[in-house]
Structure 1
Amino acid sequence: MNERFAKTPAPPYYAVIFTSLLSQKDAGYAAMGDAMFDLALKQPGCLGAESARDSERLGITVSYWRDEDSIRAWKAQAQHLVAQKYGIDKWYTHYELRIAKVERAYSGPEGRSLD
């Protein structure tokens, strides 16, 4: 499997999908984003994450979690709270956050089921 893909277990587990539009004033964003990505991966219950941003500043990060309690703990983590505030106040012109339960997963191109 490619190292850029999260190595998730067989379902069920949860996905937090964070889609954001980055403003033109993004000083400090890259460093904070990298730090939060690394910190999330160290949190209890985090199973992995994947992230991408396009040339028009739209980004999507999907983090995978064992359960909803782990997601709530990450949302309330002190350094993450600071990053959230900066994001709202300085970096994002808009964002959407969605939480979904993953019930089936497949890997390809061979179409191997992970559940």
Structure 2
Amino acid sequence: MEELAAARPGYLGIESARSGDEGITVSYWRDAAAARAWKQVAEHLLAQRRGRAEWYATYRARVATVERDYGP
């Protein structure tokens, strides 16, 4: 999915972390329109369905705006 997302207009990057049975993946997009467009990509929709059916008993999606990002 990352390679497919990276080819989409407005894609900025992805971060992912896993610990045991739990994990988080965050994708970053230029704006809300780019994020919404990604959500409608057919291959992404199929991957979401497969994830719900085969891998994830529960999941949560959050949509947020990053105001600042800084570090050392």
Does TM, scored on the shorter chain, surpass 0.5?
A: yes
Partner Cα distance (1:58, 1:42) in 2: 27
Partner Cα distance (1:52, 1:59) in 2: 6
**Residue 88 in 1 paired to residue 48 in 2?**
no
Partner Cα distance (1:44, 1:58) in 2: 29
* Structure 2 gap segments, 5+ residues each: none
Higher helix content, 1 or 2 = 2
* Structure 1 gap segments, 5+ residues each: 1-35, 109-115
**Residue 38 in 1 paired to residue 15 in 2?**
no
**Residue pairs, 1:2-17, within 5 angstroms:** none
- Aligned length, in residue pairs: 72
Partner Cα distance (1:49, 1:60) in 2: 11
Q: What is the TM-score of this pair, normalised by structure 1?
A: 0.59
- Give the aligned partner of residue 33 of structure 1: none
Letter in 1 for 2:31: D
Letter in 2 for 1:47: L
Higher relative contact order (CA 8 A, sep 6+): 1
The sequence identity of aligned pairs, in percent, is: 54
Deviation at 1:88, TM superposition (A): 1.3
Q: What is the TM-score of this pair, normalised by structure 2?
A: 0.91
Task: Point out 4+ residue stretches in structure 1 off by more than 4 angstroms.
Answer: none
- Give the aligned partner of residue 78 of structure 1: 42
Deviation at 1:107, TM superposition (A): 2.0
Partner Cα distance (1:90, 1:48) in 2: 26
Deviation at 1:57, TM superposition (A): 1.6
Letter in 2 for 1:79: E
Which has the higher Rg, Structure 1 or Structure 2?
Answer: 1
